[in-house]
Chain A
Amino acid sequence: MTLKTEPFILNVGPQHPSTHGVFRMRVTLDGEVVVDLEPVIGYLHRGIEKLAESRTYTQIIPLTDRLDYLASMTNNFGYVLAVEKLGGIKVPERAEYLRIIMAELMRISSHLMAVGFFLNDLGAMMTPVLYMWREREKIMDLFEMVCGQRLTYNYMRVGGVSQDIPDEFLPALKRFIDEMPRFIDEYEQLLSQNEILLVRTKGVGVLPRETAINIGASGPVLRASGVKWDIRKADPYSIYDRFDFEVPVGSTGDCYDRYWVRIQEMRQSVRIVAQAVKQLPAGEICVKVKQPLRLPAGEVYGHVEAPKGELGFYLVSDGSIAPYRLHIRPPTLINLTALRDMVIGWKIADLIVIFGSIDVCLGEIDR
């Protein structure tokens, strides 16, 4: 008698602790091996692009906080850059530096979260993530001191930033950037040579260089595959051309490289913040912009290197007080298209690891 077998369809999510939000994967399994995967998104859709069409340019800034809620400052940054590009608004020096400091602190914070939860997905239940949360908490304290909230900052404005930093900010920040490299060393000691981590991630979920370019991946996912593409270097926005930093690049594009690239990027971000603090000039923090702001009719694409990849805002204005259309290019939605190629042939336990290594945020996938 021959045994008849058929593929098994398994739902992962939408309510599942390792899907980092409400993300559903329809996985076809042959035994334990993944043969097909269909991502299902839209559970967190709030219609931010449509809501933006009925709000003034300033009122959209709190909406952008809610895209990638782990990197709100960078979302603010990308949006105000797009508006300033179309309006031809010049930003004061001090505001530029404050923006860079905040965006780079945000990158450290987001990568800490990404690496911590990646380890959580691997089964290192909560110990690494709580060590990393301690450092993230320090950053959130600093953000809270400046703009009064811990997650939805609403800090940047068209023409500058909303408020100047208080007196006790810089000593606390200097202390943070002094001790942060030591903590990153500690993470590396804790994790980078751990046999379990190496066995579970080395050679797992390889994203080849050509595929990564073809799908339009960006951020650590692309750089882990060996492509040296960072918008801060490739198309320098704001004042990034004044800072000395390197772009860490992986070699094979497996899960371990994505983890390694994130750790190295944290080191580079600390370097950028240290340089920005040294150069921080005194002066105005915001130029006066006529309220409500009217932009000239036209269209513009502003993009920044968000912690997760290229975050783009495509803005169409018809000359009124609200945008005619605001399209958001979220980095993780594009990176997520690589998931199917990466997981086919791997087991269901590796699916969670590979998915965790992309570092998605459902807030910006569904928007």
Chain B
Amino acid sequence: MKFERYGIGVLKGMAVTFRHLFRPPITVQYPEEKLVLSRRLRGCELVWYPEKCTGCATCAKNCPQGNIEIVTHVGNQNNYMVDKFEVDTGRCMFCGLCVESCPYEALAMGLCYEGAKYRRRDLVMAKEALAISDSRKPSAYARPTIEASLPKQSLLVYWDRTDGGQKLSLFPLSKKRGRGV
């Protein structure tokens, strides 16, 4: 190939890289700074409401992996008592079909995203580990009623820190260690 003036294209490219020197950084220092994730996050665990669950096993039927194990017995008022509710999060692909299908809204996706464990057996979550508590918050995936109560997601689209002309001070970051919510 022949060029009229060799090097013009490279210089034009350099101008783009030079422009980037004056742009605000878009990366964050991950374990110290954390971006706020989506309100509908399908995080790495499920949140289970023991008092709402009737043991109907609709979630287990809708799971593509056959990953939810439920054992029940008939209680005093002719209702189902859940003896065992177990999810192997190592096999779960977090598609959210169980949460969408639950007729009693007794199952929700969690907001956690740091799910590494040291042992494979720790990935199997039983009743107590799945139940809702202060440290395990449900996300708004297929549960639009709690969407407003969760923090706003930090979006890279507002990379120059303006939200419709309104100046944002920084990305809304949480500096707390541990959970990202």
A interface residues with partner B (beta carbon < 8 Å): 55, 58-63, 65, 127, 131, 134, 137-138, 141-142, 144-149, 152, 154, 162-163, 166, 168, 171-172, 175-176, 186, 189-199, 202-203, 291
Measured between beta carbons, the chain B residues less than 8 angstroms from A137 are: 26, 156
Q: Check A149/B94 contact, CB under 8 A, given A62-B64, A163-B142, A189-B15.
A: yes
Q: Check A148/B9 contact, CB under 8 A, given A134-B26, A137-B156, A186-B16.
A: no
* Interface of chain B, main secondary structure: loop
Contact yes or no, A145 B155, CB < 8 A: yes
Q: Check A175/B1 contact, CB under 8 A, given A59-B64, A144-B38, A189-B15.
A: no
Contact yes or no, B157 A195, CB < 8 A: no
Q: Taking each of B7, B8, B38, B42, which has the highest tally of chain A beta carbons within 10 Å of its own beta carbon?
A: B38
Q: Check A138/B15 contact, CB under 8 A, given A145-B38, A194-B10, A195-B3.
A: no
On chain B, which size bracket covers the interface?
Answer: 35 or more
Measured between beta carbons, the chain A residues less than 8 angstroms from B157 are: 138, 141-142, 172, 175-176
Contact yes or no, B94 A168, CB < 8 A: no
Contact yes or no, B62 A58, CB < 8 A: yes
Contact yes or no, A172 B40, CB < 8 A: no
Contact yes or no, A59 B97, CB < 8 A: yes
Q: What is the 8 Å Cβ interface bit string for chain B, positions 70-111, against chain A (1 contact, 0 not)?
A: 000000000000000000000001111100110000000100
Measured between beta carbons, the chain B residues less than 8 angstroms from A199 are: 1
Measured between beta carbons, the chain A residues less than 8 angstroms from B63 are: 59
Q: What is the 8 Å Cβ interface bit string for chain B, positions 140-173, against chain A (1 contact, 0 not)?
A: 0110100100001101111100001000000000
* Interface of chain A, main secondary structure: helix
Contact yes or no, A189 B13, CB < 8 A: yes
CA distance A162 to B93 in the complex (A): 17
Contact yes or no, A138 B155, CB < 8 A: yes
A-B contact pairs, 18 of them (CB 8 A): A65-B95, A134-B159, A138-B156, A145-B153, A148-B141, A149-B94, A163-B141, A171-B164, A172-B158, A175-B157, A175-B158, A186-B16, A191-B13, A193-B9, A193-B13, A194-B13, A198-B3, A202-B1
Measured between beta carbons, the chain B residues less than 8 angstroms from A203 are: 1
Contact yes or no, A163 B95, CB < 8 A: no
Residue of A nearest to B13 (CB): A190
Contact yes or no, B40 A163, CB < 8 A: yes
Q: Check A148/B38 contact, CB under 8 A, given A141-B155, A175-B158.
A: yes
CA distance A15 to B17 in the complex (A): 32
Q: Check A195/B153 contact, CB under 8 A, given A148-B42, A149-B94.
A: no
Contact yes or no, B37 A144, CB < 8 A: yes
CA distance A127 to B13 in the complex (A): 11
Q: Check A198/B9 contact, CB under 8 A, given A148-B42, A154-B95.
A: yes
Measured between beta carbons, the chain A residues less than 8 angstroms from B97 are: 58-59, 62, 154
CA distance A193 to B15 in the complex (A): 13
Measured between beta carbons, the chain B residues less than 8 angstroms from A63 are: 64
CA distance A55 to B12 in the complex (A): 54
Contact yes or no, B13 A154, CB < 8 A: no
Contact yes or no, B141 A62, CB < 8 A: no
Contact yes or no, A196 B10, CB < 8 A: yes
